[in-house]
Amino acid sequence: MTLTIVAILVVAVFGLINPFLLKLIIDEAIPSRNLGQLYLFVGLMIVLPMLTGLIGVGQTYLNTVIGQHVMQDLRNALYAHLQRMPLRFFTATRTGEIQARLSSDVGGVQQVVTDTATSIVSNLATAISTIVAMWLISWQLSLISIGLLPFFLFLTYRVGNVRREVTTSTQQTVADLTSLVEETLSVSGMLLSKAFGRRDREIERFQTENARLADLQIRQQMIGRWFFMIISTFFSITPAVVYWYAGREIILGAGSLTIGDIVAFTTLQSRLFFPLGQMLNVQVEIQGAFALFDRIFEYLDLPVEIADRPGAIALDPARVKGRLRYDHIWFHYNDVPLGSPAVAPSVEEAAIDATQSPDGAEAGPAPAPFELQDIDFAVEPGQLAALVGPSGSGKTTIALLAARLYDVDRGCVEIDGIDVRDVTLASLGRVIGMVTQETYLFHATIRENIAYGDPAANQAEIEAAAKAAAIHDRIMELPEGYDTVVGERGYKLSGGEKQRVAIARVILKDPRILILDEATSALDTRSERLIQSAIEGLMHNRTTLAIAHRLSTILAADLILVVERGHIVERGTHAELLERGGLYARLYRDQFAASREPMRAVPVGDYAPVGDD
């Protein structure tokens, strides 16, 4: 930056010399018929622009380096900050909106960041030095040339504000259009639109948003064009006024101006108008860029809700035994937007709200603000604990708290007696492995997707994990084997194949604690048996927390927890719970009856045997 500023000042000074050389040629060298002076002044007028051009090339390089590094830092900061955002941010924000902020908005400020700072300094240095030189020649002519500049600055400010508002609307429309494209042209969106015959409707939605964007961009380009036309006209007329005033002074002999002064002044004047016009235009562009910066920093300023505490402990996977304890936890999903002040109600406040009306009178029970209430259980190392219950009862939420994807409101989740909030997130991620109901694969090769569990794994280890997940033979049947690209979200593979690749990824990770969210939900009977066998081997000497809709998969669990409406209503082994005859027994009878009567439709209701949690 220092080198850039020096280059700018040198260029500004060199630019002042030629008008004075022109004055000296007209007023001294030619009248005195001095060839030596003529050659010297003309030679300098040739050499100086060449030096200025060379310095300008170096300045442009420095501008580009500085600007691109700033943009690189901005993109890195925004992406890293988004990686630290809690899971609820992504469940409440459209993917297209995030993509627009990271690409379109950041890209929109690139030119401003790359060129504006140096442009302002360069044009300001040129303008100030030129005004000083013009003043030395004639203060009267200088006042004529720059007298209306304050008025133009005021108009520039007003035009810039309008540009900022329109730019904000334009970028929001870009984000809406990006979200629409991301949702409708993804594999899932395309399947949905084709299956429901909504192709024409989606085309109409896109065309409507696209037309709105086009109108806003036209308006954005036209803002201030009349204003700049007036400025350009004024700058074109001003030299005529200068010639009139200076010529009148010379003809009447009323002043000390010479023809050389007029030529030098008008040359300086033309040199002044360009940086002034650039500075006025930059002011408008900056106001538009501020709208983009507002959107970028709206994300950068979001608080990081789940982060490492000071002095957080790094768990050593080799030493973790895997005892998992939920110690009387209470949890509720915060629906308040990120960045807004929100205070979770205490347990006592929740109890009061549930039993009393505002005037203190007894009232009927009201819905509690907590999705999970007083969850308390422990899973010993090597044990399998299963969470069962109706869809929406809170089973998945309980599992996510162990991985600290959310933080509890009260109580704590412990691993080997250590609160997970006192553990570094990186080490927590190393000791916990998850296989979720919704399998996600990257648009990459099978090898790369499995190796995501351990990037340092070699081919033999990857193949061993695939064999354990009963997917190796299927991979070898593919034309490119492990180098097969699975496509967007893994859609080139069947549901069962995707699930087995995901399980292989966790097997390769070799975690101490397993969380299985209906890990075999997408498998046929044969694949399910293979995976169950693989999972049984994987669970050996590991703590496992399994969420199951198919009760047949957890009959041998050491502990079965029945969850209903955020409470643990039953706990015990399979035999104990059947003997008790409660909710678990009813769920089991429903599934057993469904399996005995294959032609009978499975009822859709609170106790459907399959579904999202």
Beta carbons of 373 and 411 less than 8 angstroms apart = no
Q: Give the pair of three-digit tokens for residue 88.
A: 């609820």
| Nearest-angstrom CA–CA distance, 229 and 340 | 45
Q: Is the confidence at residue 579, as pLDDT, over 60?
A: yes
| Beta bridge pairs of residue 567 | 564
Look at 17-26, 217-226, 529-538 and tell me which has the smallest mean pLDDT: 529-538
- Picking from 9, 308, 269, the residue whose alpha carbon sits closest to that of residue 147 is 269
Rg (CA), the chain: 36
Q: What is the pLDDT of residue 352?
A: 32
| Nearest-angstrom CA–CA distance, 1 and 7 | 10
Beta carbons of 512 and 427 less than 8 angstroms apart = no
Q: Is the confidence at residue 148, as pLDDT, over 90?
A: no
Q: Do domains 2-300 and 373-596 have the same CATH topology?
A: no
| Nearest-angstrom CA–CA distance, 49 and 282 | 25
Amino acid letter, residue 491 = Y
User: CB burial class (10 A; 0-12, 13-18, 19+) of residue 408?
Assistant: buried
User: CB burial class (10 A; 0-12, 13-18, 19+) of residue 276?
Assistant: buried
Contacts of 230 (CB under 8 A, 6+ apart): none
Q: Is the confidence at residue 194, as pLDDT, over 70?
A: no
Q: What is the pLDDT of residue 508?
A: 87
For residue 325, which phi and psi values (nearest 5 degrees)? -130, 130
**Alpha-carbon dihedral angle through residues 371, 373, 377, 382, given to the nearest 10 degrees:** 10
Q: What is the pLDDT of residue 414?
A: 93
- Picking from 529, 563, 187, the residue whose alpha carbon sits closest to that of residue 388 is 563
Q: What is the pLDDT of residue 589?
A: 83
| Nearest-angstrom CA–CA distance, 577 and 553 | 15
In percent, how much of the chain has pLDDT > 90?
A: 8
The full set of domain ranges for the chain reads: 2-300, 373-596
Beta carbons of 120 and 127 less than 8 angstroms apart = no
Q: How confident is the model at residue 354 (pLDDT cuts 50, 70, 90)?
A: very low
Q: Is the confidence at residue 598, as pLDDT, over 70?
A: no
User: CB burial class (10 A; 0-12, 13-18, 19+) of residue 388?
Assistant: buried
In percent, how much of the chain has pLDDT > 70?
A: 78
- Picking from 290, 270, 272, the residue whose alpha carbon sits closest to that of residue 282 is 290
Look at 194-208, 425-439, 445-459, 577-591 and tell me which has the smallest mean pLDDT: 194-208
Interval 71-90 mean pLDDT = 85
Selected from 3.40.50.300, 3.40.50.970, 3.40.190.10, 1.20.1560.10, the CATH number assigned to the domain covering 2-300 reads 1.20.1560.10
| Nearest-angstrom CA–CA distance, 462 and 455 | 10
Q: Give the pair of three-digit tokens for residue 562.
A: 């029945």
Architecture of the domain defined by 373-596: 3-Layer(aba) Sandwich (3.40)
Interval 433-457 mean pLDDT = 85
Q: Is the confidence at residue 505, as pLDDT, over 80?
A: yes
Look at 327-341, 429-443, 466-480, 499-513 and tell me which has the smallest mean pLDDT: 327-341
Q: Is the confidence at residue 238, as pLDDT, over 80?
A: no
For residue 606, which phi and psi values (nearest 5 degrees)? -65, -30
User: Tens of pLDDT along 510-543?
Assistant: 888 988 887 665 556 666 676 666 666 666 678 8
Q: What is the pLDDT of residue 415?
A: 92
Q: At what angle do helices 117-137 and 259-300 cross, to 10 degrees?
A: 160
Q: What is the pLDDT of residue 325?
A: 93
User: Tens of pLDDT along 376-410?
Assistant: 999 998 888 999 988 888 888 898 899 888 889 99
* Cβ count within 10 A of residue 375: 24
